[in-house]
Chain A
Amino acid sequence: MNKIDKISNDELSVVTEEPASRRSFFKKTAAYSMSAFAAASVLAPVKVKAGDDPAIMEEQPWATAWGTPVTDNLYGLPSPYESNVTRRTTELLSSGNMRASIAVTPIQDITGIIVPNGLFFNRNHGGTPEIDPNKHRLMIHGLLEKSLVLTMDELKKYPNVTRIHFIECPANGGPEWRNPQFPSIQFAKGFMSCAEWTGVYLKDILKDLGLKPEARWMLAEGGDSSHMGRTVPIDKVLDDAMVVWGQNGEALRPEQGYPIRLLLPGWEGNLMVKWLARLEFASEPFYCKEETAKYTALTNKDGKAIQHFYANEVNSVISSPCPEKPWTDLKKGDTVEIEGIAWSGMGTIDGVDISFDGGKNWVEASLKGLVLPQAWTRFSYIYKYEGKPLFLSSRARDDAGYVQPSIKQERDAIGIEGVYHRNGIHTWEVTEKGEVHNVQILS
């Protein structure tokens, strides 16, 4: 596009000296309105020397020509240079069909505690429907004095609350019960995301409906082709269950349940039914498909499985370094930040410890930024890198008093066939070269 790209640095200084060229005229004109630094290279050309950074010495096309008008991209998009930051899929995690599958979040590339809506992990059971909000209804019925039908406009008239919560698939880390499998943080821990949600507390809608005392369970059912249902105990319904329509300041994305989904802070993502259409109250549990075939955890106790396993337990992972963000560019003696994410579905993160020897000895890291219930919490530890091999682990604890178990403790307690709710301490092996490998410490 811009010829300057194609000519060498030496030629560049020659070209800029040609006073009669139309090019130079435009450049000089532009230079007057730009900063003194840019003007210096144009008006008083310098010979490029070894050690000079071409990114500084060369004029870049974006610095010398118009950008796009505000009429472009009326719904904005990320820079095309960020095209490597996407959700990703793998055949292994698909039930034979990408319409009953998962696309996972690149947590190696996420900053802070809010995952952008386009990168929020997506698990569905019958594809992502395109629901017309004008034809979508929320029906509430069952053991109530009166039933209720709400249009989306009516639902949004209820006073709303905004909360930051993570949503985690309870199978996050689940493929690694028996062995480490994924050379990647995105697949080892990316079955989760965190966002700011806006909606209404269910208890505020129910106040007027006369919930009967024998109503112990609530069925939540989606309006998509899978009609996925889950049973929620009344305790959670009357505590902090929400019906949400807002996600990070805009409408829910179709992948997240547009126009509405159930939000149960801290609980299994699967319980937070997307494309929510129906809530039914009953005295007995419903035994939905996703609380028998799946989302139950087989234990090592005489073939018994845990059902109605609600909260995702306290967990953490170091996101820098990680296999996708290694330390191969560090020099011995560099001081660097070890950073990560901690979360607990059972409460608020109280603290995080870091180990350099695979969990034998621990030091306390700092928490940073907002520390909120059932939300991603960032932790940080400043470390002097010496180029020695490390087993780098993190271990979070929450205000309910729980500490992340070692893999051995977790296996001894529950076995290795549970599929779900794996929160054993995660370890990265950092090699002498600074490469980062996914390992498990079984001590």
Chain B
Amino acid sequence: MFKSYRKLLSTVAIVALASVSVASAGNASRTYENGKKVIDGGMTYPTKNGMTSVYKVNTQKNYKDVKFGRPATPNEIKAWDIDVMPDGTGLPEGKGSVEEGDEIYEAKCASCHFDFGSGGAGYPALQQGNAYEAKETLKLQRLNPEDDGPQRNFGSYWPQASTAWWYIKTGMPHPAPLSLTDDETYALMAYMLAINEITIDGEELEDEYVLDREKFLKIVMPNKDGFVPVIDGKDGLENVRKFYDDAKNFGGIKKRCMKNCFDGEPKVARIQGVGISDFNPPLSAKKEKPAKKESTGGNKAKEAYDASCAVCHATDAMGAPAVGDKKAWEATLKKGLDVVKKNAIVGINGMPPKGGANLTDDEMNAIVDYMIEASK
């Protein structure tokens, strides 16, 4: 009894020593030098005695005198400042109707996001029905295999419409970002809101509804208040600090159980079947020289096709003529070979110029020849 007590004491002493050594080496702290809690709920390692954690630091006073570069010109800032904020900062004037949005969507978006933004083939859905109803599904948890899950899409989940305007303008269409005009972006936004049945000022967005900057700033997304911590306003940062200071808010655990941590035998969940194992390349533990790569016979057009075009042209899922589909290519070639080649270079329907790839006109022509040859 006495012996084990002593053993316990010595263990405690070792633990205490260990934590002292960590603290002295690291100057680890839960608060910043301004006295505020570390914002992510973790530690900071302020520089003390010329060290941060175990790293040595140059503490010469003239360190701060190092400065290079020049101020940005107003024009340069204008050229690069492309973000759009919830209060309308960065949102330009412009307008577009639901109907116009529908046309642009069919031409430039449906090839990936499918009809009415229903999504598929790995591309996100832009709506799953009425957004106000879909928002209610966010309370669902798929605890059983047959359970319905939460529907997270633009309409049901996103807190701010500005995010979508900004993203469409600067990130979409995916192969050709920054190619849409402001009016086209407004039209697409109108269409997105309409298919989600989101109202503005209580008004439903019919085909002829024209969205402009003023109306855009009145949009209240269904899930606006669905996020914690609240980051807006002058208390935003303090809200975040408080949120992560409380382990309960994000599932943090501080108790370290060593013995009999649960009752009975462990309840085990295993992979169903073979699980997900279509890995590229397949897993291998073999140490051997790779087999020589299958030669494309120096067919650069095929290599370029595989790298840049197959993503849309391997199947007809995107509405593009699939390579190998004789009928589809016969139909396409009725336009004449010159027209087909020109379309490939300047873009057609959902396809941006050169498919968004960085290729020369000659390379594009060779690829078209290859695709036609492979579809005979």
A interface residues with partner B (beta carbon < 8 Å): 80-84, 86, 88-92, 94-100, 125-126, 139, 141, 146-151, 154-155, 157-159, 161, 163, 175, 178-184, 186-187, 204, 207-208, 216-217, 219, 221, 225-229, 233-236, 239-240, 266-267, 277-278, 280, 282-289, 292-293, 296, 298, 300, 302-311, 313, 324-325, 344-348, 350, 353, 357-362, 370, 372-373, 391, 395, 397-406, 408-410, 413-417, 421, 429, 437-443
B interface residues with partner A (beta carbon < 8 Å): 19, 22-23, 26, 28, 30, 32, 36, 38-45, 53-55, 57-58, 63-64, 66-72, 76-77, 80-83, 85-87, 89, 112, 121-124, 135-136, 138-143, 149-150, 152, 154, 157-160, 162-164, 166-167, 170-171, 174, 177-178, 226-229, 231-234, 236-237, 240-241, 244, 247-272, 274-281, 283-290, 311
Asked whether B271 lies within 8 Å of A417 as measured between CB atoms, the reply is: no
**Shortest distance from the beta carbon of B371 to any chain A beta carbon, whole Å:** 19
Q: A149-B70, A180-B275, A283-B234 are in contact. List 19 more A-B contacts (CB 8 A).
A: A81-B287, A96-B122, A151-B69, A183-B274, A186-B283, A221-B82, A225-B171, A227-B178, A280-B83, A284-B86, A285-B232, A286-B83, A286-B85, A306-B249, A308-B229, A359-B261, A361-B260, A398-B42, A438-B275
Asked whether B45 lies within 8 Å of A226 as measured between CB atoms, the reply is: no
**Interface of A (DSSP majority class):** loop
A80→B287 CA distance, assembly (Å) = 9
**Shortest distance from the beta carbon of A310 to any chain B beta carbon, whole Å:** 4
A179 touching B83 in the complex, CB below 8 Å, given contacts A150-B69, A240-B44, A353-B258? no
Asked whether B167 lies within 8 Å of A289 as measured between CB atoms, the reply is: yes
- Measured between beta carbons, the chain B residues less than 8 angstroms from A96 are 112, 121-123
A360 touching B227 in the complex, CB below 8 Å, given contacts A95-B124, A126-B174, A226-B171? no
A438→B253 CA distance, assembly (Å) = 23
- Measured between beta carbons, the chain A residues less than 8 angstroms from B71 are 146-149
Asked whether A284 lies within 8 Å of B264 as measured between CB atoms, the reply is: no
Asked whether B122 lies within 8 Å of A126 as measured between CB atoms, the reply is: no
- Measured between beta carbons, the chain B residues less than 8 angstroms from A154 are 68-69
Most buried by A among B140, B241, B254, B269: B269
| 30 residue pairs bridging A and B, Cβ less than 8 Å apart | A83-B290, A84-B285, A89-B280, A91-B122, A158-B68, A175-B276, A179-B271, A180-B270, A186-B279, A227-B178, A277-B80, A278-B80, A283-B234, A303-B138, A303-B150, A306-B227, A308-B231, A348-B26, A350-B19, A357-B266, A360-B266, A401-B254, A403-B254, A413-B251, A414-B251, A439-B268, A439-B270, A440-B268, A443-B265, A443-B266
A124→B227 CA distance, assembly (Å) = 25
- Measured between beta carbons, the chain A residues less than 8 angstroms from B276 are 90, 92, 175, 181-182, 187
- Measured between beta carbons, the chain B residues less than 8 angstroms from A403 are 253-256
A126 touching B72 in the complex, CB below 8 Å, given contacts A157-B66, A284-B87? no
A289→B289 CA distance, assembly (Å) = 43
**Interface of B (DSSP majority class):** loop
- Measured between beta carbons, the chain A residues less than 8 angstroms from B87 are 284
A279→B274 CA distance, assembly (Å) = 45
**Shortest distance from the beta carbon of B176 to any chain A beta carbon, whole Å:** 9
Asked whether B163 lies within 8 Å of A141 as measured between CB atoms, the reply is: no
B160 — nearest CB in chain A belongs to which residue? Answer: A287
Asked whether B85 lies within 8 Å of A284 as measured between CB atoms, the reply is: yes
